[in-house]
Amino acid sequence: MIIINLPYIAAGLLVVVVVLYFTWPAFRQVLRLCLDMHRQLGNVAAARAKVTQSMVEVREAEAASLRHISQYKTAVQGNASEDVRNAITGMVARAKRAVSDANNAAAEAATSLQLAVEALDRVRESWRRTSLFHFG
């Protein structure tokens, strides 16, 4: 009866990996590419999350701007005092700046995402060209 002892199997696999790492450069390159791929996938995921968050912030800023513009129109139609109209005008100006800032942040996030995807594509291309997978 053969008894499979998991710690011995794990130790044997570790020895095989270490031997391959030090004796086969292509294997070393594949391990490095695996780490690079994992890191780049994380970068792309983080960049996509930032783009999504930036787009939410843009929509929220635009909605706030529209609310303040509507308040201003209501104040003008209702013959509100000049102080009230000036206060609302200040809120409109701040809301428009917030929209501009949110759009700039979204553009930066989109650029970061593009760079992260390009870096991931480079790692994938390196993976594809790795000599470990080319026989002959």
Q: What is the pLDDT of residue 101?
A: 95
Q: Distances in Å between the alpha carbon of 19 and those of 9, 14, 27?
A: 15, 9, 10
pTM, rounded to two decimals? 0.73
Cα–Cα distance for residue pair 108/120, rounded to 1 Å: 18
Could you tell me the mean pLDDT of each successive run of 10 residues in the chain, 136 residues long?
78 90 85 91 96 96 94 90 91 94 96 96 86 55
Cα–Cα distance for residue pair 12/61, rounded to 1 Å: 58
Q: What is the pLDDT of residue 50?
A: 96
| DSSP state at residue 133 | G
